[in-house]
Amino acid sequence: MDIKRVNKEIAEVEKTIRRTRKVRANEKLHVGVDLGTAYTVLTVLGEDFRPLACKMEFAQVIRDGLVVDFLGAKEIVARLKEKAEKSLHTSLTHAAIAVPPGTSKADSMTHAYVVEGANMEVTSISDEPTAANEVLQIQDGAVVDIGGGTTGVSIFKAGEVVHVADEPSGGTHLSLVLAGNYGIPFEEAEQIKKDPKKAKELFPIVRPVFDKMATIVEKEIQGRDVDIVYLVGGTCMMPGVEDVFEKRLGIKVVKPDNPLLVTPIGIAKSD
């Protein structure tokens, strides 16, 4: 994997969070909707896959990959679509989505109905690690996705997913630990967790949770001939995560500059 290319690609999408780019006349768009435990992200790429817009919202409408608040999820997607359409001056008619590996057909369809409920045709449903690999473009190694609710481990061999595991340990657990430690509400803990100025103070408090996540990954990669781990997912935004993993696993750990955006961009690329 060329980390420079990956970081450049992500940085270009990051820019469109603040400032949408122009759509060319009759341009075919690639749209992705990532329905997550913590964030729902809508990414729009142009015909040539250049980033045009990225809209996101924090909401707890999905749990363990399942839609737990259908109406809430539909409203969020509709809102993100409307925001993107307004700034792009065009309508979004279709989108790709992704679900955690192992999601049943029925549960995958519920994800699709959320997006269709927001008036977009669902063009493809991929699994999240495969979507992430649209951006990473790795052949061999483990993609570790630490989102809001879970730590997902996907082992790739020759560009294909050959083993997956998903364990309930994610960013929500970090926030709960911080809320307990400081005696503050969960929402406030979520906010301080994301403050880069606080990272040094907070890290020792949440480190045991990262140690547990690293143990999960260690167990999954054992005996599977993995010599490199790629970190994606919003929880990996926290500085220092990569060191905990590297120490525990004793192999190379690669983290893109903005791990949260890897899967959302990959989903749009799948459209």
Closest CA to 262 of 28, 20, 54, 48: 54
Q: How far apart are CA 260 and CA 54, in angstroms?
A: 12
String of contacts with ligand ATP for each residue 145-164, x by CB under 6 A: --xxxx--------------
CB nearer to ligand ATP: give 46 or 145: 145
SS3 111: helix
- Rg (Cα) of the chain, in Å, rounded? 18
> Measured from the CB atom, is 168 or 250 closer to ligand ATP?
168
Among 20, 235, 258, 270, binds ligand ATP (CB under 6 A): 235
- Print the binding letters for residues 205-234 with ligand ATP: x by CB under 6 A, - otherwise: ----------------------------xx
Max Cα–Cα distance, the chain, nearest Å: 54
Per CB under 6 A, does 32 bind ligand ATP? no
d(CA 74, CA 95): 14
Window contacting ligand ATP (CB under 6 A); options: 11-19, 37-45, 118-126, 247-255:
37-45
Contact status: 37 vs ligand ATP (CB under 6 A): yes
Nearer to ligand ATP, 52 or 202 (CB): 202
- 190 lines the binding site for ligand ATP (CB under 6 A): yes
Instruction: Write the DSSP symbol of residue 20.
Output: P
Closest distance of CB 237 from ligand ATP, Å: 3
* Range 45-64, binding ligand ATP (CB under 6 A): 62
Residue 161: how many other CB atoms lie within 10 Å: 16
Task: Check: CB of residue 125 under 8 Å from CB of residue 260.
Answer: no
CB 30 within 8 A of CB 93: no
For the bound state, the minimum distance from the C-beta of residue 190 to ligand ATP, rounded and expressed in Å, comes to: 5
Show the beta-strand stretches assigned E in 112-256: 121-127, 141-146, 151-157, 160-167, 228-232, 252-254
Single out the residue of 101, 141, 170, 256 in contact with ligand ATP (rule: CB under 6 A).
Answer: 170
Q: Given the rule CB under 6 A, which residues bind ligand ATP?
A: 36-39, 62, 147-150, 170-172, 190, 193-194, 233-235, 237-238, 260
